[in-house]
Amino acid sequence: MFTYILYALAITGLVLSFIKDRKKTKLALKKALKSFENILPQFLSILVIIGLAFAILTPETIQKLLGTSSGVWGVLAASLIGSITLIPGFVAFPLAAALLHSGAGYMQIAAFVSTLMMVGIVTIPMEMKTFGKRVTLIRNVSAYSFSLIVALVMGVVL
């Protein structure tokens, strides 16, 4: 229901924008379409990889590797996978929900998502060029540590 409300608000806003200034609205829609076209190949490739992963990994396997019974090793595995994976947030959260539905534990998913969003092993070379080695290492180690704390808190709370 909430989704329909958001769609209605977006359509209403688009109609009001179109009424106010057709030229700017058309230009904005063209820019949005261009952005969508730029994101689409990456988005589709990530969806294919995720689809293949779910086709290969059964819910039993996911539960064994990332379920609540996997404990500390599952949290560490999820945090390492999240640290080295480069997935945008709009894909990460639906992926996390699918993993939860397949039997993954909340603590493991919290570790995965938080390291995915905060730790950047893949982007370290670029980050070092921009911010320097010391700042990059401090930021990544701090983010990884904080992610483990988040996972622990989620495990206790949920």
Confidence at residue 144, expressed as pLDDT on a 0 to 100 scale: 97
Confidence at residue 134, expressed as pLDDT on a 0 to 100 scale: 97
Q: Where are the domains of the chain?
A: 1-56, 58-158
Confidence at residue 25, expressed as pLDDT on a 0 to 100 scale: 95
Confidence at residue 110, expressed as pLDDT on a 0 to 100 scale: 96
For residue range 20-42, what is the model confidence (pLDDT) as tens digits?
A: 999 999 999 999 999 989 888 87
Confidence at residue 85, expressed as pLDDT on a 0 to 100 scale: 87
Rounded to 5 degrees, φ, ψ at 35 are -65, -45
> Do 66 and 78 form a contact (C-beta atoms < 8 A)?
yes
**Cα–Cα distance between 108 and 155 in angstroms, integer?**
8
Confidence at residue 49, expressed as pLDDT on a 0 to 100 scale: 79
Below-70 pLDDT ranges, the chain: none
